[in-house]
Amino acid sequence: MYVAGVDIGSLTAKAVVLGEDRRAVLSRALVYTRWDAAAAGWAALGEALADLGAARSDLARVVSTGYGRRKLDGSDANFTEIVCHARGARFLEPATRTVVDVGGQDSKAMALGPDGKVADFVMNEKCAAGTGRFLEVMAHALGVDLAEFGALAVGVADPARISSTCTVFAESEVVSHVASGRPRAEIVAGIHEAIAARVASLARRVGVRDAVMMTGGVALNVGVVGALERMLGHSIAVHPDAQFAGAIGAALLS
Amino acid sequence: MSEEHGQRREIRSAVAYQKLMGRYYAGAKSAGKDGRKVAWITSGGPVELLHCFDVIPVYPENHGAMCGATRMSVPLCEVAEERGFSRDLCSYARGDIGSAITKGGPIGGLPRPDMLICCTNICGTVLKWYEELSRLFGCPLFILDTPFVRGTSSEHAIAYVEEQMREYVAFLETHTGKRFDEALFEEVAAKSIRSISLWREILACSEHRPAPMNCFDAFIHMAPVVTLRGTDEINVYYEQLLAEMRERVQAGISAVPEERHRLLWDNIPIWYEMSALSGLLASLGACLVADTYTSAWTFEQVDVADPMRTFALAYTEIFLNVNLERMVDKAVALAERYSAGGMIMHSNRSCKPYSLGQYDNAKAFTRRTGLPVLILEADHTDSRQYGRAQAEERIRAFVETLV
């Protein structure tokens, strides 16, 4: 038998399958959420199970998290992303005391106690700046694929200045940088700095303590991670499964 | 999961409350016909003197709360915005100006004022807001200025406010044509002290575990102490409510079924979201047992032997007119008295004096009590400033981390 965690976010749904001993992630899958959260959650889980040659009947427990978590009929329990990301981050890096999670529509910073429990957390204000959505909008404005966005800015010495206050205004700033002939890599680097500045202020609010781990899809963007490391003066651990941290946490809580 | 079953238990006295407030507003609306005068007054203003002159006090802020709770504020705010009032201005002020112009809202607007009483102890916005009303209605405005208090009030500050209380009396004599009756003032003061102490006792019932009422109940049942303190009707009503709460304590009846978490609330309610938030918290087994808002009308300084001076002191030292350290002291004291396990702070875009400093207050509160704080961004009546999904997610996460 297996256990599963499903994290249905605003942009993507992630599922992981663990053995019943909950010691290792055996398979994982990610699909776009689109308009039907439950369907996306089950689709991701279906893919993860198929990788193992397993079926839903092989699952002892399914726990969901993320914005769509309560839509997943048939899950055994659900928890908010805060506790799931904290739990998942500790699983990926047991020394974690600070978790920064940047997802599609919100970003959060969590301070964990020595026992791994959430001691404090803050989430972004009612604003998309500092979230994955910000990157998405900017990638679209620059005609760059989101997956390549991070690498584009590596080695840039003079990032363009982008206001970090508002996604809509920042987009028009990007357009004016483009119009003035600024190299694309410098604009991309500026965008990374802008999002990192927002996230850094969240992290400082809960207090940054090593080890710092970044979770969520934006953790895969080396440009944002690098900018955030410089701003916080701490190195940031990123695990290849960073995007699955919430789903892993949910599976561990099953 | 008992989420579907999370419901607030209704308070029996609510029927009497509806009647009381209905009579009050009906009386205010027919004041002109009855040959009585109406004053609009700020929520922290000294209302007792109005009762001495048989002037009916009407509160734009209470009316704002009604507009908010009935989700009628936004179109009224838009009327003010179209006239050039900034969206950064308090939504009570915008909504009130919108309602004054259009007569919009759940009761068709407030009755036209014969005079305006503005006390600056709650914020600086009221000054310009009431000046605007004074221009709009062409009626006299009295401004009572209360110096900000750091630590304790200075002697000269109290003397300054007491002097203005006497000017306030002279203002009322001029505009009502009546003579000030000191004996009547003492009588009203005694009744006001009674109203306030009844309200204090009602709130104190929630020190009991489980709490017989929660803040959502208090947000509703506070209206009489704000609007009618110093009158007989309110005291009769509060005696009834207090008896009901004591009965609940005796019988172990809780406001929230399965009370597992006891939390404090800071700031004005999110009026348009009362029922959703109340249901959500109840479903999570969380009870808001006390708050810094409804307890603002529990001041203890008034002495019937020297009402003018002691009211001056009480109105100067209200919660929004004191320094952050005193605000934290109050939250810490509430946490102890009510055995709270955390605090939810509403960062209210409208109310700057209440919201400025909340991050520092939260830190100091956690340092002193070891209790966690959640800060929620919203606005007391402008629902355009509120994101329900985001707010609910934060509340759920907060309650989960309390376990």
Provide the CATH number for the domain around residue A33. 3.30.420.40
If asked whether residues A199 and A254 sit together in one domain, one would say no
Tell me which of A18-22, A157-161, B115-119, B177-181 is least confident.
Answer: A157-161
Q: How confident is the model at residue A148 (pLDDT cuts 50, 70, 90)?
A: confident
CA angle B395, A84, B1 (to 5 degrees): 60
- Which residues on B lie below 8 Å from A117 (Cβ)? 401
Supply the mean pLDDT for chain A: 92
State pLDDT tens for residues B45-97.
Answer: 999 999 999 999 999 999 999 999 999 999 999 999 999 999 999 999 999 99
Give B-chain residues touching A126 at CB under 8 angstroms. 377, 385-387, 390
Q: What is the mean pLDDT of residues A241-250?
A: 96
Of A79, A119, A126, the CB nearest to B377: A126
Write down the pLDDT at residue A96. 97
Spell out which residues of chain A touch residue B385, defining contact as CB-CB under 8 Å: 126
Task: Name the residue among B359, B387, B401 with its Cβ closest to that of A82.
Answer: B401
Closest chain B residue to A127 measured between Cα atoms? Answer: B387
Q: Which member of B389, B390, B401 has the closest CB to residue A118? A: B401
Task: Domain count for chain B, please give it.
Answer: 1
- Same domain assignment for residues A6 and A109: no
Q: Are B209 and B169 in contact (CB under 8 A)?
A: no
Q: Are residues A113 and A81 in the same domain?
A: no
Same domain, A105 and A165: yes
**A-side interface with B, Cβ within 8 Å?**
67, 79-83, 106, 117-123, 125-126, 205
The angle at the Cα of B174, spanning B170 to B178, to the nearest 5 degrees, equals: 90
For the cut 50, the answer to whether the pLDDT of residue B6 exceeds it is no
Contact B375 A122 (CB under 8 A): yes
Shortest CB distance from A82 goes to which of B366, B385, B400?
A: B400
Same domain, A24 and A102: no
Q: Assess whether A66 and A111 both reside in one domain.
A: no
Contacts of A205 in chain B (CB under 8 A): 359
A80 vs B390: CB contact, 8 Å cut-off?
no
Question: Which residues on A lie below 8 Å from B377 (Cβ)?
Answer: 125-126
- pLDDT for A164 equals 61
| Over residues B258-262, mean pLDDT | 96
Give me the pLDDT at residue B28, please: 95
Convert the pLDDT of each residue in B280-333 to its tens digit: 999 999 999 999 999 888 888 888 889 999 999 999 999 999 999 999 999 999
Q: Find the residue in A nearest to B395 (Cα).
A: A80
pLDDT tens-place string over residues A63-76: 999 989 999 988 99
pLDDT higher than 50, residue A36: yes
DSSP string, B205-272: GGGSSS-SS-HHHHHHHTHHHHHSTTSHHHHHHHHHHHHHHHHHHHHT--SSTT--EEEEEESS--GG
Which residues of chain A have a CB within 8 Å of the CB of B401?
Answer: 82-83, 117-118, 121
Q: Which residue segment(s) compose the domain that B352 sits in?
A: 3-402
Shortest distance, CA B342 to any CA of chain A (angstroms): 11
Residue B1 has pLDDT above 60, yes or no: no
Taking the alpha carbons at both ends of chain A, their separation in whole angstroms is 13
The whole-number pLDDT of residue A167 equals 77
User: Does the pLDDT of residue B229 top 80, yes or no?
Assistant: yes
Distance CA B20, CA B240 (A): 12
Give residue B2's pLDDT band: very low, low, confident or very high (50, 70, 90).
Answer: very low
Q: How far is A80 from chain B (nearest CA, A)?
A: 5
Give per-residue pLDDT as tens, B111-141. Answer: 999 999 999 999 999 999 999 999 999 999 9
**Cβ distance of A126 and B400 shorter than 8 Å:** no
Which of B386, B389, B396 minimises the CB distance to A80? B396
State both tokens at B12: 């029996």
Q: How far is B267 from chain A (nearest CA, A)?
A: 18
Q: Are residues A60 and A124 in the same domain?
A: no
By Cβ distance, the residue of B375, B389, B400 closest to A67 is B389
Predicted confidence (pLDDT) at residue A37 exceeds the cutoff of 70: yes
Which residues are CB-neighbours of B136 under 8 A, at least 6 positions away? B97, B100, B101
What's the confidence (pLDDT) of residue A187? 93
Q: How far is A154 from chain B (nearest CA, A)?
A: 33
- The beta-carbon neighbor of B401 closest among A67, A121, A205 is A121
The answer to whether residue B17 scores a pLDDT higher than 80 is: yes
* Per-residue pLDDT, B389: 85
Closest CA to B263 of B186, B340, B211: B340
Mean pLDDT of B376-392: 93
Range of the domain at A142: 96-238
A6 & A82 share domain: yes
* Same-domain pairing of A152 and A248: no
| Residues in chain A closer than 8 A to B366 (CB atoms) | 120
Give yes or no: residues A69 and A113 share one domain. Answer: no
Kindly state whether residues A24 and A147 are assigned to the same domain. no
Q: Is the pLDDT of residue B5 over 70?
A: no
Which pLDDT score is estimated for B273?
Answer: 97
For the range B99-104, what are the long-range contacts, defined as Cβ-Cβ under 8 Å and sequence gap of 24 or more?
A: B99/B63, B99/B67, B100/B133, B100/B136, B100/B137, B101/B136, B102/B76, B104/B72, B104/B75, B104/B76, B104/B79
Pair (A56, A108) in one structural domain: no
Of chain B, the percentage scoring pLDDT greater than 70 comes to 98
Q: Do B400 and A80 touch (CB under 8 A)?
A: yes
**B262/B343 Cα distance (integer angstroms):** 9
Interface test with B, best of A81, A118, A204 (most B CBs within 10 A): A118
Alpha helix stretches (DSSP H) within B252-387: 274-283, 307-316, 324-337, 352-355, 358-369
The domain tally of chain A equals 2
Q: What pLDDT digit, counting tens, does each position of A178-228 carry? A: 999 999 999 999 999 988 998 999 999 999 999 999 999 899 899 999 999
Question: Hey, which residues does B58 pair with through a beta bridge?
Answer: B40
Among the partner residues B366, B377, B393, nearest to A125 by beta-carbon distance: B377
A interface test, pick of B284, B359, B400 with most A CB neighbours within 10 Å: B400
Cβ of A82 within 8 Å of Cβ of B387? The answer is no
Q: How far is CA B384 from CA A171, B73, B294, in A?
A: 23, 10, 25
Residues ≥6 apart with Cβ < 8 Å to A224:
A102, A135, A150, A192, A195, A196, A199, A218
* pLDDT bucket at B8, cuts 50 / 70 / 90: low
ipTM: 0.80
Cβ-in-10-Å burial (0-12, 13-18, 19+) of A149 comes to buried
The confidence score (pLDDT) of residue B288 equals: 98
Closest residue, chain A, to B370 (C-alpha): A119
Q: In the predicted model, what is the mean pLDDT of chain B?
A: 94
Residue B376 pLDDT > 70: yes
Q: Name which of B401, B402, B403 to mutate to probe chain A: the one with the most chain A Cβ atoms within 10 A of its Cβ.
A: B401
Q: What is the pLDDT of residues B150-173, one digit of tens each?
A: 999 999 999 999 999 999 999 999
